[in-house]
Structure 1
Amino acid sequence: MKQWLYCALLGLLVVVAPRLGASEMPLNMTQGVTNISGQVYDLHMIILYICCAIGFLVFGVMIYSMIFHRKSKGVEPAKFHHSTKVEVIWTVIPFLILIGMAIPATKTLIAMEDPSNADLTIKVTGSQWKWHYSYFNEDVEFFSVLSTPRDQIEGDATKTDTYLLEVDKPLVIPTNRKVRFLMTSDDVIHSWWVPAFAVKKDANPGFINEAWTKVDKPGTYRGQCAELCGKDHGFMPVVVEVLPEAEFDAWLADQKLAAKQAEVEAAASLNKTLSMEELMAQGEQVYLASCAACHQPNGAGLPGVFPSLIGSPLIKGDVSAHIDIVVNGKPGTAMQAFNKQLSATQIAAVVTYERNAWGNNSGDSVQAIDVSNLTTGAATSSSAETEATQAVPDATSAVETIEQAAETVVSEVQEIASEVAQAVEADLSELTHEQLMSEGEQVYMASCVACHQANGAGLPGAFPSLIGSPIIKGDVSGHIEVVKNGAPGTAMQAFGALLTPRQIAAVVTYERNAWGNNSGDTVQAKDVDSHGQ
């Protein structure tokens, strides 16, 4: 009897001890700050208690048997080969335990995978090694990059409490609003993970995954990429700043204003000429922030992985080719396109820096206008040409130069206007049903297949099927409206600014007649162009 009492006390300690100190255990799962994270924590603790109870019973029976049924006490083992009762017991009891674990787990998983009725949708794109955030229908987007100083990474300075968990621009979301995340990637598989939200979702290139959160408590929450995405996997943190609703609305308005101001400043910067010293100083900062992760701070790269920039053919070659690879990247390699990440001035500075640092000493000086000319299709001017243009001998020749430039601009504008008018007229011409279906399939595979799938079946619970759907069976104008202007509160973007009326007409015709829909509807570009007028 005494032995059984000791066993019972031991079992009580095993089961109750985790509950008493669970929240203080440094290695235990944290409770988080959202309702879902609380459900995940409770589920974790329930499973833990069940495992502790099973372990106590199993090992308790084993220890009791070894002590009280040992051979030295003269116990004779039972001799039997089959017991239906025992087999039923050890089949039914584990089955009931699994059912008891599956019910709360299923409820939690269903809640975690329900991003419907979101108040805000944010597209999260991973790339080596940074995050890009785009707020749907708000015209706000930015990159979030590790901001830990290089001297801390190299061990030359004391590491802070947020070492490798700090960024230049955190993701900002509001409290008390459901935020939906659409995850994808530009290159390899990443994983966006914030433990406090109980959100961990893979970002796969070519696919879109969904997650959501609703945070009640303002604050700064940190996470990181949880997928082995390359050599700098550990330098890809996630920082989310949660603001009260009023503060978030003010922040969003400020971001929109800042984006417009940045456009004005970028346009103004094209008329500025920086000295070689200014370009080199700014270029070094840009290089260390955006390029050093691959090409190393000393420009030596990683042999077999990332090329060296010291005396490389790119550095020794044409300046325009150098600018082009920084602006547009290089398909099939890890070299990203920086045209959306850096301004024309920053690209000019980093190209100048790369062509003159580490002993390259090319003497080339690149200005923002050179980058702008290349991206707009104009010929890139060399530093000598820029200086010659600026060295106008007197005011008279300067006026003549301006007048000639003005005449050229007017002529080019007239030509462009004529070409646009002809293109619009051609775009609004009528096509046969077969032509629309052929072109519509191409547009669908380029712009729609990532969400609705190649067979139109969509992704249940995430993206609706287009096979026999209400939008397909309904009025054509409603279908055009959704494609042209999107559907607020969903992942359906507005394609009115991305596709021409002809392309929209083609894809609507295709969707209404593909995959067995066979509506017989034929939509022309003029129908799309006149829609909403």
Structure 2
Amino acid sequence: MKYKLLAWMAPWMATPFMAKASLWNMTPGVTEISQQVYSLHMTIFYICCAIAFVVFGVMIISLIRHRKSKGATPAHFHESTKVEIAWTVVPFLILIGMAVPATSTLIAMEDPSDADLTIQITGSQWKWHYQYFGEDVGFYSLLSTPKAQIENQAAKGENYLLEVDKPLVLPTNRKVRFLLTSDDVIHSWWVPAFAVKKDANPGFINEAWTRVTEPGIYRGQCAELCGKDHGYMPVVVEVLPEAEFDLWLEQQKRLAADAEAAERDSLSEQLGLSESMTLGEQVYNGRCAACHQPNGMGLPGVFPAIKGSPVALGDVAAHIDIVAHGQTGTAMQAFADQLSLKELAAVVTYQRNAFGNDTGDVIQTREVNDRLNGGEPDEAGTGAKHTEPNEVVEPTSAIEASTETTAALTLEQAMTLGSEIYNGRCAACHQVNGMGVPGAFPAINGSAIALGEPAEHISIVAEGRAGTAMMGFAGQLSARELAAVVTYQRNAWDNQTGDLIQATDVDAVAGQ
């Protein structure tokens, strides 16, 4: 019986000794902190194994020695003060024993002081931006896995979805401080080999640090669910010996200077339609297609279509502004710092001529440069409209019309503008047909709010509703836009209240 018991318990006894060699265990990593984390993990693991061995050992021995078939009879007793004290004090001492090394490791992990190099890491959907402080070196790092592999049209590579066009480069044996933030939603920069995993929150700065002793390439990824392409946001870090890193840094500075010179030279370059379409397609597929789709149709209710859109068919200057500076309150990010002037010109040209748009416009680098500097294109420009000081240009889209806040809306104008805003801001939750998602997001079609008092409706759209997912849009939309989307919700689908809300109505509710 004893030998059978030992044979049954052998795997449990061997577990602590096999843990280090197991492929399922945490890896030690390549930094001092990662090795401290690994040691802490193993310490806690051994303590847990010892507790399990003692507790289950006593249970099993008790079951065997005091079983009924051996004539054992149960004892009758009440609680013991000594036992109560023992099983309170012993776990407390065990927890204190765990807390001491854990606290030491956590304090070390949160100490980025005396860094030799500081790098700002900015997450955005779905890429990382690295900026080396004091060095005038910065770049974006994007997934480089071929689309054919992602679409199962080619065999998966060795580092499938864990490869980028430009890795972050670090030196060995230097303390590197990371400042992490985000342009849009919450991301999380994670490199397991460094034991670094830190959230990047919009509007906040988080700190982390590392000191790598072994050159090599280390891979990680965004560890926060940040959107539909969350899995396409890898982290790749190349660690070079100190001398090689210094050479690399000097090379990056020269490349930045060369790129700046190329930008100046491109101002006098005249792009042809064919050249612009080729370059623009490359940029679009790499930066825009994830949201607006390769066919330009977008995702209804989430990301607007480029095909036939008022932006792509409207004023060139407005189109350049949106691509370069993004659009506040939407997922449309700014690309002025991510693309060269030539790339910006090419992708705008592509959007205006692909997907059946066929405007014939060829945007030049000079036009983009003038827009970025707050001016209008010169007379050599081919796309943007020129206006005299007193000339009035009719808005070319509902969003542009919303900027003229002094004129009253007609019902037709309000429904057009409101539909555009609703599909861009509300339809993701309440659905394009206004039916909502039962149990999650309420319907607007036939709702008590849309059919009730306009003032209450305006208040909810403007200020949101505490305790629900309904956010306030007062800081994102103008009074005219708020009026239009409320009008749309009160007259779309089967609601048909006939109410026409004006900006003055919104201002009156805000002033209460």
TM-score calculated relative to the size of structure 2: 0.72
Change (3 A) 1:92 1:9: farther
SS of corresponding position for 1:142: strand
Asked whether 1:301 is paired with 2:298, we answer yes
**Cα offset for 1:9?**
6.7
Residues 405-461 of structure 1: per-residue CA shift (max 9 Å, x gap): xxxxxxxxxxxxxxxxxxxxxxxxxxxxxxxxxxxxxxxxxxxxxxxxxxxxxxxxx
**Cα offset for 1:66?**
2.3
Asked whether 1:143 is paired with 2:144, we answer no
Q: CA–CA distance in 1 between the matches of 2:52 and 2:10?
A: 12
Query: Which residue of structure 1 lines up, in the alignment, with residue 335 of structure 2?
Result: 338
Q: CA–CA distance in 2 between the matches of 1:339 and 1:377?
A: 13
**Cα offset for 1:10?**
5.7
2:196, 2:209 within 8 Å by CA — same for their partners in 1? yes
Gaps spanning 5+ residues in structure 1: where?
A: 388-533
Q: CA–CA distance in 2 between the matches of 1:385 and 1:201?
A: 47
Q: How many residues align?
A: 384
Q: CA–CA distance in 1 between the matches of 2:132 and 2:381?
A: 43
Query: Which residue of structure 2 lines up, in the alignment, with residue 175 of structure 1?
Result: 172
1:127, 1:188 within 8 Å by CA — same for their partners in 2? yes
**Cα offset for 1:11?**
5.3
**Cα offset for 1:29?**
0.8
Residues 460-498 of structure 1: per-residue CA shift (max 9 Å, x gap): xxxxxxxxxxxxxxxxxxxxxxxxxxxxxxxxxxxxxxx
Query: Which residue of structure 2 lines up, in the alignment, with residue 71 of structure 1?
Result: 68
Q: CA–CA distance in 2 between the matches of 1:386 and 1:45?
A: 65
Q: CA–CA distance in 1 between the matches of 2:172 and 2:240?
A: 6
Equivalent AA in structure 2 for residue 272 of structure 1:
E
Asked whether 1:235 is paired with 2:213, we answer no
1:366, 1:382 within 8 Å by CA — same for their partners in 2? no
Query: Which residue of structure 1 lines up, in the alignment, with residue 281 of structure 2?
Result: 284
Q: CA–CA distance in 2 between the matches of 1:381 and 1:9?
A: 87
Equivalent AA in structure 2 for residue 361 of structure 1:
D
1:221, 1:239 within 8 Å by CA — same for their partners in 2? yes
SS of corresponding position for 1:310: coil
1:11, 1:53 within 8 Å by CA — same for their partners in 2? no
Query: Which residue of structure 2 lines up, in the alignment, with residue 359 of structure 1?
Result: 356
Q: CA–CA distance in 1 between the matches of 2:381 and 2:50?
A: 81
Query: Which residue of structure 1 lines up, in the alignment, with residue 20 of structure 2?
Result: 22
Asked whether 1:109 is paired with 2:125, we answer no
Q: CA–CA distance in 2 between the matches of 1:168 and 1:41?
A: 31
Q: CA–CA distance in 1 between the matches of 2:231 and 2:383?
A: 43
Identity percentage over the alignment? 66
SS of corresponding position for 2:143: coil
Q: CA–CA distance in 2 between the matches of 1:119 and 1:272?
A: 42
SS of corresponding position for 2:324: helix
Structure 1 segment 55-204 matched on structure 2, within 5 A: 55-204=52-201
1:15, 1:49 within 8 Å by CA — same for their partners in 2? no
2:198, 2:208 within 8 Å by CA — same for their partners in 1? yes
Query: Which residue of structure 1 lines up, in the alignment, with residue 460 of structure 2?
Result: none
**Cα offset for 1:101?**
1.1
1:124, 1:131 within 8 Å by CA — same for their partners in 2? yes
Q: CA–CA distance in 2 between the matches of 1:29 and 1:187?
A: 32
Structure number with the higher helix fraction is 1
Q: CA–CA distance in 1 between the matches of 2:267 and 2:119?
A: 32
2:363, 2:381 within 8 Å by CA — same for their partners in 1? no
Q: CA–CA distance in 2 between the matches of 1:386 and 1:300?
A: 24
Q: CA–CA distance in 2 between the matches of 1:186 and 1:360?
A: 31
2:120, 2:133 within 8 Å by CA — same for their partners in 1? yes
SS of corresponding position for 1:358: coil
**Cα offset for 1:7?**
5.0
2:174, 2:211 within 8 Å by CA — same for their partners in 1? yes
Residues 205-225 of structure 1: per-residue CA shift (max 9 Å, x gap): 111111100000000100000
Gaps spanning 5+ residues in structure 2: where?
A: 385-512
Q: CA–CA distance in 2 between the matches of 1:203 and 1:239?
A: 17
Structure 1 segment 379-394 matched on structure 2, within 5 A: 379-380=376-377, 385=382
SS of corresponding position for 1:89: helix
Change (3 A) 1:92 1:174: same
TM-score calculated relative to the size of structure 1: 0.69
Query: Which residue of structure 2 lines up, in the alignment, with residue 247 of structure 1?
Result: 244
Q: CA–CA distance in 2 between the matches of 1:94 and 1:138?
A: 52
Residues 245-283 of structure 1: per-residue CA shift (max 9 Å, x gap): 000001111111111111100010111112111100000
Q: CA–CA distance in 1 between the matches of 2:122 and 2:246?
A: 23
**Cα offset for 1:290?**
0.8
2:121, 2:178 within 8 Å by CA — same for their partners in 1? yes
**Cα offset for 1:136?**
0.8
Change (3 A) 1:148 1:294: same
Asked whether 1:210 is paired with 2:201, we answer no
